[in-house]
Amino acid sequence: MSDAVKRGVLLHCDGAVATITLNRPEKLNPLDGATIIQLRDVVADLEGRSDILVVRLTGAGKAFSAGGDLGGYISLYQSPDDFRGFLENFHDLLGRMENSGKIYMAVINGACVAGGLELLLACDVVVAGAGARIGDGHLNFGQLPGAGGSQRLARAIGAMGAKFLMLSGALVDAEEALRLGLVNRIFPDDELEAGSMALCQTMAKHSPAGLKAAKHLVNEGLRGDLQTGLRMELEYVHNYATTEPDAMEGLLAFRDKRQPDYRK
């Protein structure tokens, strides 16, 4: 997509895996209003592609994203309607990712701060290079997370962990992020690209319907209490197993000692 290159958001597709790259490395890939809209457009376009099952999201250069354009906020705050529009667009982008049937993986190279963390939290899987640094950082400049960060962070790592990152403004290294539950796997920095792609390709071999269903079960279950979630799971899995062709195909492939031929 040549227009995406000019706008600072790159899209590359390799089989069933798409890679979205924030491409303003000279400014550590800021998430300003234009970038949010561009990301939302790319995510919306990918939603219509049945051939894409997994989406990698990363940043060019030395950072995933250092967050919003703080200088730009000075004028944005003086126009309440414009600022609300910015927040609504950011919320819409993250909601589209979270509710998508596709699997989103954040690939964290270098700094991931503030709005970058909010972007990470809307993904399903997070991998990081050993040199990554991750944190909220909003209060370091008198700001607050406004794209769901305070809500998703507490759900991801618990209230105490979320308040620590928000109140201290600290950036934690990859090992601490792994311990907190912000990261699923760490790769050496020079293996992050290949390692994350290999993991995406492994996931993309699974049933498209199964990937979507597994994501839905976890996300939907978190909306209510445990007993509601258990009942939802029972009903959903019963319907999946008895109506979804991929469920039977997986069993037949196992029985016949062959690779499954899932629907695309």
> In degrees rounded to 5, what are phi and psi of residue 147?
-110, 30
Do 29 and 99 touch, CB atoms closer than 8 A? no
Splitting the chain (264 residues) into consecutive groups of 10 residues, what average pLDDT does each group show? 60 95 94 94 94 96 90 88 93 96 96 96 97 95 91 94 95 96 96 97 95 95 92 94 94 94 85
Do 219 and 160 touch, CB atoms closer than 8 A? no
d(CA 170, CA 205): 38
Q: Give residue 84's Cα distance to chain centre.
A: 23
d(CA 144, CA 114): 9
Tokens of residue 35, six digits: 């970038």
Please report the pLDDT score of residue 7 as a whole number: 65
* Residue whose token pair is 């979630």: 229
Give the 3-state secondary structure of the chain. CHHHHHHCEEEEEECCEEEEEECCHHHCCCCCHHHHHHHHHHHHHHHCCCCCCEEEEEECCCEEECCCCHHHHHHHCCCHHHHHHHHHHHHHHHHHHHHCCCEEEEEECCEEECHHHHHHHCCCEEEEECCCEEECCHHHHCCCCCCCHHHHHHHHHCHHHHHHHHHHCCEEEHHHHHHHCCCCEEECHHHHHHHHHHHHHHHHCCCHHHHHHHHHHHHHHCCCCHHHHHHHHHHHHHHHHHHCHHHHHHHHHHHHCCCCCCCC
Other Cβ atoms within 10 Å of 116 Cβ, number: 29
Beta bridge partners of 75: none
Do 122 and 94 touch, CB atoms closer than 8 A? yes
Write down the pTM of the prediction.
Answer: 0.92
Residues 6+ apart with CB under 8 A from 10: 1, 4, 19, 20, 21, 23, 60
The region that residue 43 occupies, defined by phi over 0 for left and psi between -120 and 50 for alpha, beta otherwise, is alpha
CATH code of the region 2-204: 3.90.226.10
Please report the pLDDT score of residue 18 as a whole number: 96
Do 134 and 172 touch, CB atoms closer than 8 A? yes
**Nearest alpha-carbon partner for 65 in 20, 130, 98, 97:** 20
Please report the pLDDT score of residue 4 as a whole number: 47
